[in-house]
Structure 1
Amino acid sequence: MTERLARAVAALEPEGGSVLLLGEPGSGKGRLAEEAAYELERRIDGGVKIFLLPAPSLDEQWDEEVFENWFIAQLGVEPCEERQVRGPAATSAASKRVLEAVLAESAGLAPVIVAPSVDRYPVRTGALLASMVRSGRIRLIATARYLSGAAEQISRHPRMQRLSIGPLSRLEANTMLTQLLGCEQIEFSTLHRWYAITNGYAHSLTVLALALDRRGLLERERGMIWEKTRDFGAIPEEFLTYLGEACTAEELETLETIAVGEPITEAVLLEKLTPAHLRALQAMGLIVPREREGGEVAITTSHELLASSLKSRMGADRRRKISSELYTALRHGFDKQDELRKPNRLFRLVSLGLEAGRLLPIEWLVAALDDPGFESDPETKLAIARAITRHPDVHPARLAEAAIGIYHTARLLGDRRAVDEAMEVIGELLDPGTRQALPVPLRIRLQIELATHLTLDREQYDEAFETIEQLKRLEYEPGSAADEMVRCAYPLFYARTGQLRKAAEAAPAPDEQGRMELEWVRSQARLVSSLTLSQQGRFSEAFEIADRTRTFAALGGRVERFVGDQLTLAMFISRWSSGSLLAASDILEQVQTRSLSLLQNTGFVEGSSAILAVGQGRWRDAALHAERAVARFGQRDPFGMLAIFNSVLAYAQAALGERTESRRSIFASETARPGTGQVLRGIVRILTLEARHWNGEADVVEQANRTIAWARREELPFIELRAMQVLASVQGGLDSARLMRAREISARIDEPMGSALLGFIEEVNAGESAWDAPSARILTDLGVWLPLPHTPLLSAREREIALHAALGYSSKWIAERFFLSTRTVETHLRHVFTKLGVTGRDELRSYLRGGKLSA
């Protein structure tokens, strides 16, 4: 039950309790009213009788007589002569007549009246309703947009509680949609997009989800639903039909103008809108006034989906015409430079000017490129950068900045044509005949971008390294930002190509700090350091450097803010690697509630959710999220992250007993693209090694030895010790040389992970079975799991619960971990006992201890 439903039901449960739900059109107050009535039906002993009144239309007012006539028609109440008389006495008589009829129809059940849109009832009808509420013999659930008319009348009574119903929270939206679509989960990226474009309005969410489902644009797998396409081409036709039926042609033109020009705050634009049309559109809930920073009030469409519907129906020519008119009005209405210094004004002028196809002043475009308002709109940012490169007044320095902006944004969007366009401009700027006109720091930046392109897009590593080496021939001041750019180019190259030891050696030392200008330059190298430190077992340092650098990056330019999003991922990895799963979960939750375009639009959230679920032993959820992350990054992988998410998927599939699928995912994870994901190569190796262990592969020992040797070469003690733990589990111990090495490197790994891994190895070496080792339970709390024997009789959920039960976790704890009831967990356990032929947890543990992992 959602929080809003619980509040409504709590107000209604006492005898005679009533509630008035106040909210905007589309907020879901009508649905909530009916849900509350049906929830009461389940809760109240003896049952209830529900009376659902129809909502008055916009041009209809339910006066006292019309209200009573409805009950006469429904219940057969005999009309009385005094019905034609006005005044308190007549109202009292009518109230008594309706109340008696309602009670008679209820036949001993508790009557519940659901009355929508009571603010469109006149005060006189409100008095009739209020009289019925005062009797204490009915429960009234009323809805209203405004506290006026009958809504104000009935709300005076102490039995009537008022609840404000705003848009759904993200959690409430997820709950509603999973019930509506009959699934267990909505993919995060899909839910985030739907929520953003509907502003959480229940009606719009419902129409959008059902329309996409009807048109076959939703995919389903393992109980999860996601959207096939993420563009706005799939606008539900219900919205277009509704707009055509609800609005006059003139009102629709006004609404289109608002959709193109929103947010409309300027007097010169408001003067172009007809007040009568604005009132009508606001009454229908199609436009809303919103207060902005500084107290400024803006007129906007009620949600982005509505604006998208309008833009899709009006066509490009109509949009261009409106944009041109608005742009002309705005430009003539401003006081030149004073107004253009305001970011919001600049943002709107540039957006409208680009849409209208105008040649904008170069100063506007350059200023807009640095405007953080475009961070969440990469398509517009790309259009601005392109407009700069094609501008007749652009000089080389501005051209260089724009080309760099095109390259970064185009890579994020997967726009290969724009990437090539950017590199063509960069190549021309680096031509010997042109580059002398550029300042040295800008030449260095361009050459680093060229090296990045050669590394990430062309995979021409020798040419990329030579491009970086050429930077040493330039003249720049030691200790300057230019010097730091050259220095940091090396760890980035090494990291993106999987040379982790070299990357760590070349990166600035964790405790090295300089002035803010230098820290901004170092931000990407710090990202490399943090991810590498996590794999070395220096988890606290990894977290601190990522957290500190993210704070600095938030104060920097757009490139640094972009890196700041990736640093959030580094903070998550440090907590997860250390076994601090609750802290990792908190970081992920923060990401989900913030508007980080990189993390939310590229699959990072789904991938991080999968990584967390692996540590928590929720392998079904891990597989769900990993499959979505692999699908997202399979379409576009600007950071080389596909390998890490394939390795997570391989592990989850192996834990679920899907051995064939797991082997395919292991193979896919071994083909890695250059990029940030290469820095996580140690984690990829461990996850695929453990997947092989779960699968019972014949080459686990060989693969463990390879991983140990690789981790030692790359100086990653945590990865090396994790591989030793797998080897000890498979072999029943380590030889003396390996055991000595394990003791040595465990001291370099932060507690409690280092001692827990070593403790397990020592216990197995002393003759304990892996399942009997006391440290095994400690490791599971830290996210390191022992494999189950091959048990094809068990379902995916049963495998998860069986392992947790065998490790000593209570049914209550398991229920909380998997969001199940304790009764459901006990039912699953009974099925496990029956299928495996055991009688309880002790025998289950013995079964798993003695089970053999067949290859």
Structure 2
Amino acid sequence: MNAQKQGFQWPLAGRKDELQRISQAWQNQRTKVLLLTGPAGVGKSRLADECLTQAVRGGWRGARATATAAAAAVPLGAIAHLLPPSVDMSDPVRAFSQVAAVLAGPQRNLRWAILVDDLHLLDTSSAVLLRQLLDSDGIRLIATIRSGEPVGEAVQALTGGDRSYRIDLGAFDQRQTEEVLQAALSGPIGQRTVHTFWAASRGNALYLREMVQGAVAASTLSSDGEIWELAKGGLPSTPRLVELIGSRLAGAEAEDRELLELLALCEPLSLEDAATVVHPQSLTNLESTGLIQMRQDRRRTTVALAHPLYGEALRADMPALRRRELILAQVKRTKAHGARRREDSLRLATWELAASGTADPQLLVRAAILASHSHDYEQVITLLEGLPDDAHTYESHLLNGNALLQVGRWEAADTVLARAEALAGGEAQKVAVTLHRTWSLFWVAGRTEAALQVNAASYQKAADAKWQRVLKLNEASLLILSGNVPKQDHAVLSDLDAHFAGEPSIPAWSMAALAKAHLLGQTGRLNEAVSFGQQAYSAHRDIDETALGSLIPAAQLVAVSYALADVGQLDKSRQATDIILAATEGTDNALTWTWASYFRGRTEWLAGDIAVARGWFAQTIARSRAHRYVPSLFRALAGLAACAAVLGDLEASASAIEEMAGYSPMGSHAGEEYLGQAWLYAAHGDIGQARATLFVAVEKAKLAGDITSEIILLTDIARLGGAKEVTERLAALADACDGAFARARARFATALAADDASQLQAVADELQVIGANLLAAEAANAAAAAWQRAGNARRATAAANQAAACAINCKGAHTLLLNAAQATAALTHREREVALLAAAGTASKEIAEILHLSVRTVDNHLQHAYSKLGITARRELAAVLGIRS
């Protein structure tokens, strides 16, 4: 999708709070001047334009002027075009009075809002005139001033006092950046892309606009129909951006250019190193002009460029030999200091590779280890590619294999890990290779059987009992996380300590801890899952960073998020995923990010905010495709298919289901992958087939022992008219499952089966408290229909109002109970079922076969339904029932 073809326009967004304050200030009769201040590029002019537009809409006459250094040399130069031609300016006192009179109009009732951009450059005469007009109540002034610029006395007098309302504009934060991007692109945008634009622009509105327009023009920023994502390394410049950055850098003195160039290549620098390149006074000057900034890192002061785009511009103009000269000089300085700091190995190796294409092998390996600890896996791969073949060791191959699997290159990872295994010096090292190979096959390629075979082969060769236990732990983890949960795997994990005491392999322990929390959750022991997962998270944070290949600590919260959602603590579930997303932001740890994103989507699905859930699933799909992560891609496609169907986007739902068919299911959350197909059938009105699909899914969940997934699937059968068939099983599962959510869903099904208005109303209240707004809206809607059938109009209205209030949080959702409950309130259960199938275009003969009725009985039910619904023909059913045929 191309944003330019959509009529790409740059919006005013991200300034909601400021606009509200401006509106309040404008309504205050004492406010004569609205003053917007801030650094260059922050969006002052754009906001000032909006202020003027709103004033004009409110009945003011508008005018604008731009103060410039050139215009300041001429009295009244900035506002000469605003002065009536009939006014003689040779007598300023008299002329000012005439201007005020002309502006006020014959009836003296005209009100003027005048916008002056860059007010700090306004000439004295213009400032004096504007002040007199303000004093005469002839105008109000909207003005922008750039922070840090000198302001003349006349302008100070114009803007001083309590008649001025000042707003200091800062750069956008990440949330505001997302708002701007969504408004500009007219659609949702991936969190990684938001972070990339925000980090690169530092929230500068002007730079952000230029980068987005450049990326759209270069097609590196595009939409797959669901979400906008930026290709890796896809931030092209534009001529305007080059000009803007170039003008900022042009203010530096020639002798200071060397420091700026060095920072572009090697930032941050210590203050001592920077002072060897330029005079200390130059550092002060560069800082005051906003080109560099000082940072305090414990007791060490460092120097960096004030904006990342400055570095891009400087590097683009730098010849290769100049780069080499500057980098090698900095390498020499750093080595002269002894390269004592932890990160010096990484910096030296990176610099030497950039300057000469080679570096000391030991330095490269140390640097790669540091990059791995920072989850900069692309950097790990780059560093180790610079290592000569004969310098590779078991450790370097294992390090490289881990990095390759993290970025989704599982075939290359398998090749490199095979080399590591050939160099392994004992069982500990061989088992470590096995763990990485199985994880690459399982988490990236989605090849569970292949992963289990690799693990089994390694187990057969292991002689030491402790390493056999590690491989058994790994096997149990893979089986549980794939949805295959034999009882012996329960036993393997049952005594796993959340604090990993005595575990010989931290990576295997961390994966097993995740699997155990997941197992506890899917077997209904949700409170235990939360507790165990949180303990594992705390313990994991204390692990030595040198434990290569272990999951990041925040990954333990994936299972916690899942358990919290199913127990009914949806806000806490969101908080858990927020921690994971924050921990992986700005890193190459996309594997953990995709699962956090998926589970955030699942939480929103359970909450009933289907459009938001779809956005999270779309982000998971985009990131999984980019890294070829098959399991997370499959799960997210399933989630998106369900969301799209409920939102009425049947084409997108069918497309996602078709793509899912190309992959093998991972197996976790057994049966939930059928939700998309079931809700697609339901959206077409084929309720019988939707329920049949869900019953197949229920059997799969039963086989896997997945109580929480089975509860979700059974609840949806009840929502689609099959409540009487599932109430007994749901009640039994709710007794075996922790939390209020399972109990509320069981009561929901029981109330639907009984068509009990009071029970439905009570369960709507329970679900609303939990935050399951779609289920709450459906329960309240069903209660309203039941009250209506009982002839209690007052209660029916109250329940309908509650349904509407809950449905506000479920924008765009279309379900049987949400759409058709009121319309079919007068129908019997069988009449509703027949009517819904007919509305989807199902012939009477087919309906008879589906419901095991005679064709005559079907037609009789339809005639009764037509009469009760006030229609005369089958073709009118779809519109009345809200069904997409």
What secondary structure does 2:668 align onto? Answer: helix
- Closer/same/farther in 2, CA of residues 592 and 125 from structure 1, 3 Å limit: farther
Aligned 1:496-575 pairs, distance under 5 A: 497-501=482-486, 503-509=489-495, 513-515=499-501, 520-521=506-507, 522-556=509-543, 557=545, 562-575=551-564
459-468 or 186-195, which moves further after superposition? 459-468
Aligned 1:370-389 pairs, distance under 5 A: 370-371=369-370, 375=374, 377-387=376-386, 389=387
Alpha carbons 2:434, 2:454 under 8 Å: kept:
no
Alignment match of 1:25 (pick from 15, 37, 40):
40
- Closer/same/farther in 2, CA of residues 441 and 465 from structure 1, 3 Å limit: same
What secondary structure does 1:615 align onto? Answer: helix
Q: Does 1:717 align with 2:707?
A: yes
Once residues 256 and 805 of structure 1 are traced to their aligned partners in structure 2, the CA distance between those partners, rounded to angstroms, is 71
Task: Write the deviation string for residues 196-235 of structure 1: whole angstroms up to 9, x where unpaired.
Answer: 221111111111223333455554577x661463323633
Task: Write the deviation string for residues 302-350 of structure 1: whole angstroms up to 9, x where unpaired.
Answer: 4445544554x348xx35742552343343355544xx33245444333
Task: Write the deviation string for residues 641-700 of structure 1: whole angstroms up to 9, x where unpaired.
Answer: 1121111122123223445653453354455458xx543345334565555555526544
Once residues 185 and 473 of structure 1 are traced to their aligned partners in structure 2, the CA distance between those partners, rounded to angstroms, is 51
Alignment match of 2:800 (pick from 801, 808, 811):
808
* Matched residue, 1:148: 150
Alpha carbons 2:347, 2:367 under 8 Å: kept:
no
Q: Does 1:68 align with 2:80?
A: no
- Closer/same/farther in 2, CA of residues 690 and 419 from structure 1, 3 Å limit: same
What secondary structure does 2:697 align onto? Answer: helix
- Closer/same/farther in 2, CA of residues 747 and 819 from structure 1, 3 Å limit: closer
- Closer/same/farther in 2, CA of residues 24 and 323 from structure 1, 3 Å limit: farther
* Matched residue, 2:20: 6
Code of the residue aligned with 2:501 in structure 1: it is R
Once residues 364 and 592 of structure 1 are traced to their aligned partners in structure 2, the CA distance between those partners, rounded to angstroms, is 32
- TM-score normalized by structure 2? 0.75
Q: Does 1:356 align with 2:379?
A: no
* Matched residue, 1:87: none
Code of the residue aligned with 2:264 in structure 1: it is A
Aligned 1:92-107 pairs, distance under 5 A: 101=99, 104-105=102-103, 107=105
Alpha carbons 1:468, 1:489 under 8 Å: kept:
no
* Matched residue, 1:37: 52
Code of the residue aligned with 1:260 in structure 2: it is L
Task: Write the deviation string for residues 173-215 of structure 1: whole angstroms up to 9, x where unpaired.
Answer: 233334444x153343332322222111111111122333345
Once residues 335 and 284 of structure 2 are traced to their aligned partners in structure 1, the CA distance between those partners, rounded to angstroms, is 27
Once residues 24 and 280 of structure 1 are traced to their aligned partners in structure 2, the CA distance between those partners, rounded to angstroms, is 17
Code of the residue aligned with 1:414 in structure 2: it is G
* Matched residue, 1:852: 836
Alpha carbons 1:727, 1:734 under 8 Å: kept:
no
Once residues 26 and 493 of structure 1 are traced to their aligned partners in structure 2, the CA distance between those partners, rounded to angstroms, is 52
Code of the residue aligned with 1:138 in structure 2: it is R
Alpha carbons 2:630, 2:663 under 8 Å: kept:
no
* Matched residue, 1:204: 207
Once residues 722 and 758 of structure 2 are traced to their aligned partners in structure 1, the CA distance between those partners, rounded to angstroms, is 8
* Matched residue, 2:786: none
Code of the residue aligned with 2:571 in structure 1: it is L
* Matched residue, 1:792: none
Alignment match of 1:157 (pick from 148, 156, 161):
161
Alpha carbons 1:20, 1:144 under 8 Å: kept:
no
* Matched residue, 2:196: 193
Q: Does 1:450 align with 2:450?
A: no
- Closer/same/farther in 2, CA of residues 120 and 848 from structure 1, 3 Å limit: farther
Once residues 210 and 242 of structure 2 are traced to their aligned partners in structure 1, the CA distance between those partners, rounded to angstroms, is 12
Alpha carbons 2:77, 2:126 under 8 Å: kept:
no
Aligned 1:65-464 pairs, distance under 5 A: 66=74, 68-76=76-84, 101=99, 104-105=102-103, 107=105, 108-120=109-121, 138-146=140-148, 148-150=150-152, 157-181=161-185, 183-219=186-222, 226-227=228-229, 229-232=231-234, 234-243=236-245, 255-272=260-277, 287-294=291-298, 298-308=302-312, 310-311=314-315, 313-314=316-317, 318=319, 321-322=322-323, 324-337=325-338, 340-357=339-356, 359-362=358-361, 364-371=363-370, 375=374, 377-387=376-386, 389-390=387-388, 399-415=393-409, 418-419=412-413, 422-430=416-424, 435-436=425-426, 440-453=427-440, 455=442, 457=445, 459=447, 461=449, 464=452
Once residues 330 and 129 of structure 1 are traced to their aligned partners in structure 2, the CA distance between those partners, rounded to angstroms, is 59
Code of the residue aligned with 1:548 in structure 2: it is Q
519-528 or 72-81, which moves further after superposition? 72-81
**Sequence identity, in percent?**
15
Task: Write the deviation string for residues 594-646 of structure 1: whole angstroms up to 9, x where unpaired.
Answer: 65333699655664554344234343444454345334323433362112111
Q: Give 1:721 shift.
A: 3.5
147-156 or 490-499, which moves further after superposition? 147-156
What secondary structure does 1:142 align onto? Answer: strand
Q: Give 1:785 shift.
A: 4.7
What secondary structure does 1:186 align onto? Answer: coil
Q: Give 1:404 shift.
A: 2.7
Task: Write the deviation string for residues 677-733 of structure 1: whole angstroms up to 9, x where unpaired.
Answer: 543345334565555555526544554444333333322222333344445566745
Alignment match of 1:53 (pick from 65, 68, 72):
65
Once residues 233 and 52 of structure 1 are traced to their aligned partners in structure 2, the CA distance between those partners, rounded to angstroms, is 35
What secondary structure does 1:68 align onto? Answer: coil
Alpha carbons 1:532, 1:680 under 8 Å: kept:
no
Aligned 1:759-798 pairs, distance under 5 A: 759-763=747-751, 766=754, 775=763, 782=772, 785=775
Code of the residue aligned with 1:551 in structure 2: it is S
Alpha carbons 2:446, 2:631 under 8 Å: kept:
no
Once residues 65 and 469 of structure 2 are traced to their aligned partners in structure 1, the CA distance between those partners, rounded to angstroms, is 72
Alpha carbons 2:201, 2:308 under 8 Å: kept:
yes
* Matched residue, 2:865: none
Task: Write the deviation string for residues 830-854 of structure 1: whole angstroms up to 9, x where unpaired.
Answer: xx9xxx9x9xx94465579725244
What secondary structure does 1:138 align onto? Answer: strand
Code of the residue aligned with 2:209 in structure 1: it is T
Alpha carbons 1:240, 1:310 under 8 Å: kept:
no
Alpha carbons 1:260, 1:323 under 8 Å: kept:
no
Aligned length: 783
Q: Give 1:751 shift.
A: 2.4
Alpha carbons 2:670, 2:697 under 8 Å: kept:
no
Task: Write the deviation string for residues 71-117 of structure 1: whole angstroms up to 9, x where unpaired.
Answer: 3344157676688xxxxxxxxx6xx9668636743644444343333
Alpha carbons 2:88, 2:95 under 8 Å: kept:
no
Once residues 523 and 463 of structure 1 are traced to their aligned partners in structure 2, the CA distance between those partners, rounded to angstroms, is 18
What RMSD in Å do the two structures reach over aligned CA positions? 4.7
Structure 2 residues not aligned, in runs of 5+: 1-14, 779-795, 843-885
Q: Give 1:749 shift.
A: 0.6
* Matched residue, 1:580: 569
Task: Write the deviation string for residues 12-31 of structure 1: whole angstroms up to 9, x where unpaired.
Answer: 44233434433222222232
Q: Give 1:817 shift.
A: 1.8
- Closer/same/farther in 2, CA of residues 269 and 319 from structure 1, 3 Å limit: farther
- Closer/same/farther in 2, CA of residues 127 and 843 from structure 1, 3 Å limit: same
Task: Write the deviation string for residues 503-525 of structure 1: whole angstroms up to 9, x where unpaired.
Answer: 54433547654439779542222
Alpha carbons 1:524, 1:563 under 8 Å: kept:
no
Once residues 502 and 669 of structure 2 are traced to their aligned partners in structure 1, the CA distance between those partners, rounded to angstroms, is 28
